[in-house]
């Protein structure tokens, strides 16, 4: 269809030179109505508001970590862990802006998503693990004599996608450590704060403190890059996109998150493998929140509501085009929220006995609900004539 | 809206014809559906993840299998014995700890940037000019058929690969000079003795993983229809199939995968990579690779086989069903002119633009119109690119026409633009200028084009 429109544009140009009958240009403007642009602008506002909220929490995390690094007590350690959990609450919904050909994972800033949220993470790339006390960049003084922001950023993803050096999950691993307990014990990773105290447990405590401070600092650096894009250059680019393309990006991205990334990669695979290493926040046992927050992000984009942002939405647009489809989508999304909320906390305990167990079956039901919503949402592209 | 646009178009056409033909500029038009490189299984995400999406129409169960395969593809294998029993058995000798080490984000590897850089995505095959009764190459007496540049902690690694480059100047008809780089391979720190003087080295870069199932689904008859092994039509271009050994059936069949089409199907390609690159045994390749004086039975392994059949099938399914990204800017006039030039200098005689898939076990990939820009056949590419190491029916000068789909997104996904089997070409232009043998005539025509025309071809290729 885009081709047809372009062709119209071309012929329009040749016409100007040979005819005064240029009524046609005003007819070409017939479009999806003004509401599309309002939906698109509301999305841009929503995205920025969410990243700004994530920034507030990431800055609080940095303050908590800096305090712990300066004074490594158990209280400060626990406060840092609390701050990490809080930071995930605002970052989690923002994953709905991935897969949208936007700055978080596309263009000049495409690497930022990996810098912030790479997982799964090979623990031994960063620090000691059970069975190898010398593992990781922290304990490798020969190759990494000094730890710097640039150095650690450069190591992220080198030699394999699981070689994660920085981001939320690197911080998570440093704060919680490997989760070596059985899921039935309902315990997260049991790293002790003395790993960060000179003369305490493990080796190279000073480097572990330095590492932790650097990755906390990088988190705010990288979030700021995305905020700058959504309040500046990329916002301009996005609002100038062909409306169909902008809507397509919005719909495709939450459909992809719902039906593939969240349902399959983050839930079904873990259930299939019955392996807590396949869960998103496996060190802190916070995966149940990750899942709920990703879905909350999908709901935010679909309904156009986040904090004080509340404008025209995809939901409104679809309802206008096809009320039956909108009703179906509303029902499917409500079911997905109910089914996801019904899954057990912690997630590793939910999956450990597989699909046939009571808790595993609830995960499977939630997976199917997320897939059903994502699949149906793709039909909206046809209804909106942007396929 | 679609209908409205078409109506307006018709109206405009009528108006245009009524007002002076001379002034009508007829723009080049893309073909219907030309942007759908992988047919209806194409994906439309152009981020750094562009090569990592499942084909959109897989069934629910297939998507779960894809996800499990994806997890296995990314996960690091560890030294046995380990608590993670599903992931142990790495090595003892290996080139990478996981598939994604070399196929980062399902994309393309490159030569190491410095001596000893681990897992950049280039490996060296080794072989004598001798074959087994199945037609497989016999490797170096010590290091076997592949040099592994890393090992588990308890074993000395085989050694370090050294690559040196010397410049080679190519000149365009307009006088512009381009400096290509010619690689040369040697080794340092060999732990188990020198390589045989008779051993030949064939470097191979890890390829992007997209669309493999679609290529697998092209009917044999289609491949044979493009084959012209004795150049019967006299156009200087042959094209032949590689008949390779199928380990599961014990027969020789048409090869499709690998730089010389030396693997018959995706499963065997995956199993061979697990064996050669990671040191992970499977039912297809049950033996560890060990340099001659060592006995790999002396080292702990991760079970027999180390990757069970169900997981091998999961990775195989994953590899088969990665989606091909749609093209960008197919309507751009420069791109369309670049495509015309590409065809006019006979590039499309081997890089066949459009093919149809046939029946296939993954229903979503069957009967698709795809645009891979390959004939999947072997061609003599000249002495400049030759590795001198035959591989089944491929002689030392022959390589399979690589598909060009995805070529313009390699930089986005992998942060480099290196091309060809050993990554020697630093960009598309250099890769074109390395074409020799059957492709020499096309290269010479390319060199006679103006810089604007050459840039249009490259611009076109970057939309693939």
pLDDT at B9 over 70: no
Give tens-digit pLDDT for B408-439. 999 999 999 999 999 999 999 999 999 999 99
Confidence (pTM) = 0.82
Q: Are the beta carbons of A18 and B23 separated by less than 8 Å?
A: yes
> Which carries the bigger pLDDT value, residue B298 or residue B138?
B138
The whole-angstrom distance between residue B176's C-alpha and the CA centroid of its chain comes to: 30
Q: What is the pLDDT of residue A5?
A: 37
Q: Mutation target for A interface from B50, B68, B70, B73: give the one with most A CBs within 10 A.
A: B68
Asked if A272 lies within 8 A of B96 by C-beta distance, the reply is no
A3-17, A300-314, B30-44, B359-373: segment of lowest average pLDDT = A3-17
- Distances in Å between the Cα of B79 and the Cα atoms of B76, B84, B280 are 10, 10, 11
- Give the pLDDT of residue A3: 35
| Angle A95-A101-A106 from CA coordinates, rounded to 5° | 90
Task: Quote the CA–CA distance of A15 and A26 in Å, as a whole number.
Answer: 14
What pLDDT was estimated at residue A273?
Answer: 82
Contacts of A157 in chain B (CB under 8 A): 104
In chain A, which residue's Cα lies nearest the Cα of B119?
Answer: A159
Neighbour count for residue B335 (Cβ, 10 Å)? 23
The pLDDT assigned to B289 comes to: 87
Task: Say yes or no to pLDDT of B298 above 80.
Answer: yes
Percent of chain B scored above 90 by pLDDT? 82
Q: What is the DSSP string of A179-235?
A: --S-GGG-------GGGGSTTSSSS-HHHHHHHHHHHHHHHHHHHHHHHHHHHTHHH
Bridge partners of residue A141, in order along the sequence: none
A110–B9 C-beta distance less than 8 A: no
Check: CB of residue B30 under 8 Å from CB of residue B330: yes
Helix (H, G, I), strand (E, B) or coil at B9: helix
| Mean predicted lDDT score pLDDT of chain A | 90
Residues written for chain A: 387
Question: pLDDT (tens digit, 9 = 90+) per residue, A103-153?
Answer: 999 889 989 999 999 888 888 889 998 878 998 999 999 989 999 999 999
What is the predicted pLDDT for the residue at B155?
86
Give residue B22's pLDDT band: very low, low, confident or very high (50, 70, 90). low
Q: Is the pLDDT of residue A22 over 70?
A: no
pLDDT digit string, tens, across residues A234-251: 999 999 999 999 999 999
Contacts of A110 in chain B (CB under 8 A): 47-48, 412
Residues 22-51 of B with CB under 8 A from A: 23-25, 27, 29-30, 44-49
Per-residue pLDDT, B254: 98
User: Mean of the pLDDT values across residues A264-277?
Assistant: 86
| Cβ within 8 Å, pair B16-A31 | no
- Please report residues of A whose CB lies closer than 8 A to that of B331: 2-3, 6
Number of H helices, E strands in chain B: 12, 13
- The stretch B235-264 carries a mean pLDDT of 97
Mean pLDDT of A10-24: 40
CB B45 within 8 A of CB B53: yes
């Amino acid at each position: 269809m885009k081709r047809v429109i372009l062709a119209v544009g071309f012929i329009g140009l040749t016409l100007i030179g040979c005819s005064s009958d240029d009524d046609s240009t005003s007819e070409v403007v017939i479009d999806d109505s003004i509401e599309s642009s309002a939906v698109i602008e509301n999305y841009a506002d929503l995205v920025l508001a969410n990243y700004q909220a994530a920034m507030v929490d990431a800055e609080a995390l940095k303050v908590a970590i800096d305090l712990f690094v300066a004074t490594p007590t158990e209280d400060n350690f626990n406060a840092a862990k609390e701050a990490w959990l809080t930071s995930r609450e605002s970052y989690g919904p923002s994953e709905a802006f991935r897969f949208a050909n936007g700055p978080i994972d596309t263009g000049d800033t495409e690497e930022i998503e990996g810098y912030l949220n790479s997982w799964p993470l090979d623990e031994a790339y960063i620090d000691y693990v059970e069975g190898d006390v010398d593992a990781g960049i922290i304990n490798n003084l020969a190759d990494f004599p000094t730890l710097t922001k640039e150095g650690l950023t450069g190591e992220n993803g080198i030699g394999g996608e699981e070689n994660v050096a920085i981001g939320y999950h690197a911080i998570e691993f440093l704060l919680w450590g490997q989760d070596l307990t059985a899921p039935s014990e309902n315990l997260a990773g049991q790293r002790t704060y003395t790993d960060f105290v000179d003369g305490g447990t493990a080796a190279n405590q000073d480097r572990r403190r330095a590492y932790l401070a650097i990755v906390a600092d990088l988190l705010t650096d990288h979030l700021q890059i995305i905020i700058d894009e959504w309040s500046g250059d990329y916002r301009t680019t996005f609002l100038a996109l062909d409306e169909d393309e902008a809507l397509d990006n919005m719909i495709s991205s939450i459909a992809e998150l719902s039906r593939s990334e969240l349902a399959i990669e983050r839930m079904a695979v873990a259930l299939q493998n019955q392996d807590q290493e396949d869960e998103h926040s496996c060190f802190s046992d916070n995966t149940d929140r990750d899942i709920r927050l990703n879905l909350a992000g999908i709901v935010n984009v679909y309904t156009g509501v986040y904090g004080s942002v509340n404008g025209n939405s995809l939901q409104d647009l679809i309802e206008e085009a096809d009320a039956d489809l909108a009703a179906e989508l509303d029902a499917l999304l409500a079911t997905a929220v109910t089914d996801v909320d019904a899954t057990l906390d912690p997630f590793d305990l939910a999956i450990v006995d597989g699909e046939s167990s009571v808790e595993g079956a609830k995960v499977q039901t939630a997976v199917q609900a997320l897939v059903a919503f994502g699949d149906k949402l793709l039909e909206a592209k046809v209804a909106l004539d942007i396929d | 809206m679609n209908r409205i646009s078409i109506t307006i178009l018709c109206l405009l056409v009528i108006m245009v014809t009524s007002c002076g033909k001379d002034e009508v500029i007829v723009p080049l038009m893309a073909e219907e559906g030309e942007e759908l490189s992988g047919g209806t299984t194409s994906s439309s995400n152009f981020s750094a993840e562009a090569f990592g999406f499942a084909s959109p129409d897989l069934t629910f169960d297939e998507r779960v299998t894809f996800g499990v395969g994806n997890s296995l593809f990314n996960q690091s294998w560890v030294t046995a014995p380990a608590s993670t029993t599903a992931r142990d058995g790495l090595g003892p000798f290996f080139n990478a700890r996981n598939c994604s080490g070399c196929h980062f984000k399902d994309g393309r590897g490159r030569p190491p940037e410095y001596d000893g850089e681990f897992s950049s995505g280039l490996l060296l095959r080794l072989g004598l000019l001798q074959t087994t009764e199945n037609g497989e190459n016999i490797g170096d007496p010590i290091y076997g058929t592949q040099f592994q540049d890393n090992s588990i902690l308890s074993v000395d690694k085989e050694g370090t690969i050294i690559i040196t480059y010397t410049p080679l100047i190519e000149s365009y008809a307009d006088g512009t000079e381009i400096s290509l780089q010619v690689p040369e391979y040697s080794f340092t720190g060999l732990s188990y003795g020198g390589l045989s003087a008779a051993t030949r080295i064939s470097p191979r870069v890890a390829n992007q993983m997209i669309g493999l199932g679609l290529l697998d689904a092209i009917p044999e008859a289609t491949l044979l229809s493009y084959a012209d092994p004795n150049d019967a039509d006299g156009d200087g271009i042959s094209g032949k199939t590689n008949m390779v050994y199928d380990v599961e059936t014990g027969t020789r069949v048409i090869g499709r995968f690998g730089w010389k089409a030396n693997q018959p199907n995706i499963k065997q390609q995956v199993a061979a990579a697990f064996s050669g690159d990671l040191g992970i045994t499977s039912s297809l390749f049950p033996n560890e690779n060990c340099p001659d004086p060592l006995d790999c039975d002396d080292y702990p392994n991760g079970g027999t086989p180390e990757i069970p059949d169900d997981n091998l099938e999961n990775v195989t399914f994953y590899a088969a069903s990665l989606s091909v990204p749609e093209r960008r800017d197919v309507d751009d006039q420069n791109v369309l002119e670049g495509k015309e030039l590409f065809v006019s200098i006979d590039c499309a005689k081997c890089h066949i633009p459009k093919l149809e898939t046939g029946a296939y076990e993954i229903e979503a990939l069957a009967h698709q119109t795809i645009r891979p820009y390959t004939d999947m056949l072997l061609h003599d590419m000249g002495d400049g690119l030759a590795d001198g190491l035959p591989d089944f029916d491929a002689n030392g000068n022959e390589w399979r026409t690589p598909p060009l789909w995805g070529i313009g997104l390699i930089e986005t996904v992998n942060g480099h633009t290196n091309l060809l089997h050993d990554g020697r070409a630093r960009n598309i232009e250099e890769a074109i200028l390395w074409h020799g043998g059957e492709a020499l005539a096309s290269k010479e025509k390319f060199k006679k084009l103006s810089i604007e025309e050459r840039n249009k071809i490259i611009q076109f290729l970057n939309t693939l």
